[in-house]
Amino acid sequence: MASRRFLDRFRRRGRGRSSHVTLDVSPALTERDEVNVRELVADLLERHGTMTRQAEAEAIAEAYVTLTDDGRYRFLALLARDFWSDAVPVDEAIDAVRAAGDERARRAAEIALRDALTPPAVQVLQLFTALDGGVKLLVEMRGDLLRLGEDDADLADLDRELRGHLATLFDVGLLTLRRITWDAPASLLEKLIAYEAVHAIDSWADLKNRLDSDRRCYAFFHPAMPDEPLVFVEVALTTGVATAMTPLLDEHAPDLDPEAADTAIFYSISSCQPGLAGVNLGNALLKQVVERLTVELPQLRDFVTLSPVPGLRAWLETELRDGTVTEHERELLPAEPARVIARLSDEDWSSDEAIKPALLATCARYLTTVRDGRVIDPVANFHLANGAVLERINWAADPSAAGRERAFGIMVNYRYEPDAIAERAENYATRAEVALSDGIRALLAE
């Protein structure tokens, strides 16, 4: 990190003693190490001079990245427990609020109370931001918190603070949308291969096909992590709505002239940074990409996704086991529920045409099942919250092992109609109202 290197340089050049700070810890963070960390964090919080504070923050950050998962857990727990807001000053500040004589005094007391309620740990996180590589470190640290912090309420508190800080740092106003083509650096493209979460990229030839002239790929980037895509979307330009993946992934299919396309199919959206979970970037990405396409290719008429149904199989198995399938579905099933359960793991059977009517009907019900104010399928929830309409359920749309495993090969089209987006998003957010096409409505009515 920059300023340490800076100080090193001077020291190497023999400029005498230095106030340089080091923090040597073992990878697993022993109890003795914890004492040292605690002392240094405490010292940092009392410092006034920016330079020393920053040197101390650097020492802590550099120690952190050498830790194992166990060590990181202990470090994060230490922050979340020992550097949380103190009861005494909070109580005093509360008393001051209560004692405030007029509104002005009350406002001042409230501000002081809010400061007292801000955990010292949060200041440490904020100090990391300014370090060379600090933003990336915070994202990594959040990833650690999510991975390691399960079931620990204190870590959950820390996570909440860090997510809030990252939400500000990764505000869409600070992000850059960049189109990614086959002319992009190989070092960037290999990240797409690694991060693609929906339809795995098999090879560079597969990737090249997805960046052809009748394709578009866009990603958000952050200025402090310019080589790291945050989230990216893959789009195919087609005539008519695509209802299955196979033609889209066919490397030998001829390219369509983009100016002849009337439809943009959003067939994959992948987040690249686990540490940004809960910082909603996909919504803004879709919006900006639709805007760009609208300007570049004004003849486009339809903006439609071709999306997976990640939770369908698991949900259906539970439904069958619990016996909560509907009358109508039961009629459509080609066998007794118990036998259906037994055979569903046989993929050849479960994607058989015989079971198609039952699965389509069930899928429609699954996608519109609302719990706690949102539909239970995460992809459906994402698109409905963005203001899309549930357009169409496609049988045998994704023949890949992953596609059959998660949803018997079923995929779904969600349609974005720019003029209706805002209203639908509002209706879904406030009343969990799921916008449906006539086709889906018919499927549900049966």
Q: Would you name the residues annotated as active-site residues? A: 307, 383
Footprint (CB under 8 A) of its own copies, residues 308-367: none
Footprint (CB under 8 A) of its own copies, residues 252-311: 280, 283-284, 287-288, 290-291, 294-295, 298
Calpha distance 239→257 (Å, rounded): 10
Q: Measuring CA to CA, which residue among 384, 360, 367 is closest to residue 310?
A: 367
Q: In the set 31, 49, 254, 324, which binds its own copies (CB under 8 A)? A: 49
Calpha distance 115→119 (Å, rounded): 8
Taking CB under 8 A as the binding criterion, the range among 178-186, 323-331, 340-348, 389-397 that sits at the site for its own copies is 178-186
Q: In the set 32, 114, 321, 339, which binds its own copies (CB under 8 A)? A: 114
Question: Closest distance between its own copies and the C-beta of residue 75, in Å?
Answer: 19
33 vs 212, which CB is nearer to its own copies?
Answer: 212
Q: Does 101 bind its own copies (CB under 8 A)?
A: no
CB-based contact 155:82 (threshold 8 Å): no
69 vs 95, which CB is nearer to its own copies?
Answer: 95
The torsion angle over the Cα atoms of residues 209, 211, 212 and 214, rounded to 10 degrees, is 120
Calpha distance 288→309 (Å, rounded): 24
Question: Closest distance between its own copies and the C-beta of residue 33, in Å?
Answer: 24
Footprint (CB under 8 A) of its own copies, residues 122-141: 126, 129-132, 134-135
Q: In the set 172, 256, 341, 436, which binds its own copies (CB under 8 A)? A: 172
Angstrom CA distances, 25 to 4, 58, 128, 137, 162, stand at: 18, 14, 18, 18, 24
Q: Does 111 bind its own copies (CB under 8 A)?
A: yes
111 vs 402, which CB is nearer to its own copies?
Answer: 111
| Torsion 123-128-131-134 (CA) sign | negative
Size of the site for its own copies (CB under 8 A): 94
Q: Does 2 bind its own copies (CB under 8 A)?
A: yes
Calpha distance 175→344 (Å, rounded): 44
Question: Closest distance between its own copies and the C-beta of residue 419, in Å?
Answer: 5
185 vs 247, which CB is nearer to its own copies?
Answer: 185
Taking CB under 8 A as the binding criterion, the range among 8-16, 63-71, 142-150, 242-250 that sits at the site for its own copies is 8-16
Angstrom CA distances, 443 to 134, 357, 436, stand at: 51, 10, 10
Measured in degrees and rounded to the nearest 5, phi and psi for residue 218 equal: -130, 145
Q: In the set 296, 423, 433, 446, which binds its own copies (CB under 8 A)? A: 423
50 vs 345, which CB is nearer to its own copies?
Answer: 50
Footprint (CB under 8 A) of its own copies, residues 182-221: 182-190, 204, 208
Question: Closest distance between its own copies and the C-beta of residue 381, in Å?
Answer: 13
Footprint (CB under 8 A) of its own copies, residues 426-445: 426, 428-430
Measured in degrees and rounded to the nearest 5, phi and psi for residue 372 equal: 50, 40
Question: Closest distance between its own copies and the C-beta of residue 408, in Å?
Answer: 32
CB-based contact 161:119 (threshold 8 Å): yes
b/e sequence 209-218, b meaning 16+ C-beta within 10 Å: bbbbebbbbb
N-terminal to C-terminal alpha carbon distance within the chain: 64
